Amino acid sequence: GCGSEQSNTVKKQIIGIDPGAGLMKATGKAITEYQLKDWELVEGSGAAMTAALTKAYENKEPIIITGWTPHWKFSKYDLKYLEDPKKVFGEAEDINTIVRTDLKKDHPVAYALLDSFHWEPADMESVMVAIQEGKDPKVAAQEWVKNNEDKVDKWLTDLQPVSGEKITLAYVAWDSEIASTNVVAVALEKLGYQVELSQVEAGPMWAGIASGDADAMVAGWLPTTHADYYQEFQGKFEDLGANLEGTKIGLVVPSYMEISSIEDLNK
Ligand code: PBE
C-alpha cells in the first residue's frame, strides 16, 4: 500500500476506459492470468480515467489505472507502470495508419499524405499536453503544424493540392488519437481537403474503414492491442504501416504507491 491506513481499505478496483479499447481486453486477460480474483475492472472512458487519476493524485490516494504511452499524464504526474512479468500487455508496439481499400484510386493525394505521415512519441505528447492545458484540439494541432514545418513539409513533398474533396477520418476519443487525428486533419486541409472527423468506438472505427464509411484512421495499435480487430477485418482495409513507434500499454500507478508489479495486487 501507500503507507497509510487507507491502503487497507481501498477498493480493489482498476480504473479502466471504454470497453472497446484493446487495453481493456488486455486488462481482462491480466486479471485472469495473475488470478486477481477479487479485482474489478471499471469501465468508463479516457476522460473519466484521467479525472479519477487527477483526483486521487491530488489527495495522494492509491489508484490503479489502465494506462498508455504516449500520454500527457506522464508529463503532468509522477507515475510508473506495474511490472508485467507474464507479458500480458505485450512489448513496445507501433501505431499504424489504416485506410479503406479504394482510397488510393479515389483520393491519391490524401493517400500519399497518409502514407508518409510519421512522427515521434514526443511530438504526439506535446500536442496532447497543449490540449490537456486547455487548447482546443484543432488549435493545438494547427500550432504544432506551424511550429514543425520541416516535418510536415516532408509529408507533403511533391503533392499537388486538390480543391475541396472530402475526407472522413475515424477516431476514438483517446487523448493520443484526438491529438494525432487533428494533426493529420490539419495537414490534409493544407492540401485543400475538406476533412470531417468522425468520433466512434474502437470496433466501429475498424468496421467503418472496412465498410468504406470512413476513409482512414491513424489509430491502429499493433501488433497486439488491436490484434482482434485486425484479424476480424483483415483483407477489407489497407495497412499503410507505422506512423509512430514505441508505444506501451499496461497498469499504471502513482510513484508514491509502494507496489511495483502486477503480482503485488494478489497479496
Ligand atoms: N489505447 C490508446 C487504445 C489504443 C490507443 C491504448 C487506449 C486501446 O487500448 O485500444
Element of type H or E holding 75: helix 73-76
> Does any ligand 1 atom lie closer than 6 A to the CB of residue 174?
yes
pLDDT of residue 3: 47
Mutation to probe ligand 1, out of 71, 95, 205, 249 (largest number of atoms < 8 A from CB): 249
Q: Residue ranges per domain, the chain?
A: 6-91+249-266, 93-247
What number does the ligand 1 atom closest to the CA of 247 have?
A: 6
pLDDT score for 11: 81
Say which residues have a Cβ less than 8 Å from residue 235's Cβ, sequence separation at least 6.
none
Instruction: Give the position, in ligand 1's atom list, of the atom nearest the Cα of 46.
Output: 7
> pLDDT value at position 28?
98
- Calpha distance 53→68 (Å, rounded): 13
- Take residue 144 and report the three cell numbers written for it: 504544432
What digits encode the pLDDT tens for the residues 133-143?
999 999 999 99
* Superfamily name with CATH number, domain 6-91+249-266: Glycine betaine-binding periplasmic protein; domain 2 (3.40.190.100)
Q: What is the predicted pLDDT for the residue at 6?
A: 47
Contacts of 95 (CB under 8 A, 6+ apart): 176, 180, 218, 219, 220, 221, 222, 242, 243, 244, 247
Q: Give the number of other CB atoms < 10 A from CB of residue 8.
A: 7
Residues of the chain with pLDDT under 70: 1-10
Query: Which of the listed residues 25, 199, 225, 251 should we mutate to test ligand 1's pocket, taking the one with most ligand atoms within 8 A of CB?
Result: 225
Ligand 1 touching residue 95 (CB < 6 A):
no
* CA 131 to ligand 1 center in whole angstroms: 18
The fold of 93-247 is: Dipeptide-binding Protein; domain 3 (3.10.105)
pTM of the model: 0.95
Query: In one letter, which amino acid is 217?
Result: M
- Locate cell 512522427: which residue? 119
Ligand 1 close to Cβ of residue 244 (< 6 A) = no
- Per the prediction, the chain carries an average pLDDT of 95
Q: Ligand 1 center to residue 21 CA distance, Å? A: 5
